[in-house]
Amino acid sequence: MAEDELPQIYLVTPSEIELSTYADKLARVLDAEAIACVRIGLSTRDEDRIATAADSLRKVCHARDVAIVIDSHLKLAERLGLDGVHLPDATRSVRDARKELGADAIVGSFCGHSRHDGLNAGEAGADYVAFGPVSDTALDDARTAETDLFAWWSETIEVPVVAEGGITPEKFTELAPYTDFFALSDEVWLPEDPVKALRDLLARIR
C-alpha cells in the first residue's frame, strides 16, 4: 500500500493510568509516529480524576496538533476543552451529541459487529464508526467484527471506519486495506516499549 493509503492510528488510553508517568509516555509515542487522534478511555467515574487527566493529556496532544476525545462523557468533553466524544455503543444518541457539541466536534460511535448500527450512526452524523473486537479477546465473548464487514463498508460507505479491539499483528495486516483507522490501546501500552510496539505493527504494512 502507498503511504498515503495506509490506515491512521488512533490511540486509546489504558482504563487506568499513572498520570505522572503516562503523560510522558504518550508524548514519546506522539513524537515518534503520526497519530490521528487520542481517546481518554479511563474507567473511573470520578470527575475530578478525569478532569485532571484530561487537562494534562490535552496539553500533550494539542501541543502536537493531535485531536483528543473522551469516552462517554459528553458533558465533560466541552467543559474540559476536548475535541469531541466517543460514544461506546450505537444506542447512544449521535444526534444529541452533535447538537450538544456543535458541527466542528468529533463524534464517534462504537457499533460492535452490527452493520445496521453503523449505518444508523453514520446517518445520524457520526464522524466515524468503530467495529470490533476483530478477534476473540479474554474480556469479550461477543461476536467479532469480521473482515468482510470492513471490506463492505470501505467499498460502500463514505463514513470513516475504525477497527478496535483484539487487534493481533495478523489482524492488523489483514484489515489494513479495509479500515481507515486502527484504535490501539493494550496493543501499544502493555508492552514495555510502546514506541517499539507501535512500530512493529506499522512495519507489517509499510
Rounded to an integer, the average pLDDT of 141-159 is 93
Distance CA 47, CA 113 (A): 31
The three cell numbers of residue 145 are: 467484527
What domain range includes position 71? 3-203
Cell of 5: 493509503
Domains contained in the chain, number: 1
Q: What is the pLDDT of residue 194?
A: 98
pTM of this prediction?
A: 0.95
**Would you give the end-to-end CA distance of the chain in angstroms?**
7
Dump pLDDT digits (tens) for 24-65.
Answer: 999 999 999 999 999 999 999 999 999 999 999 999 999 999
Query: What is the mean pLDDT of the segment spanning 193-201?
Result: 98
89 touches 126 (CB < 8 A): no
Look up the CATH number of the domain holding residue 141: 3.20.20.70
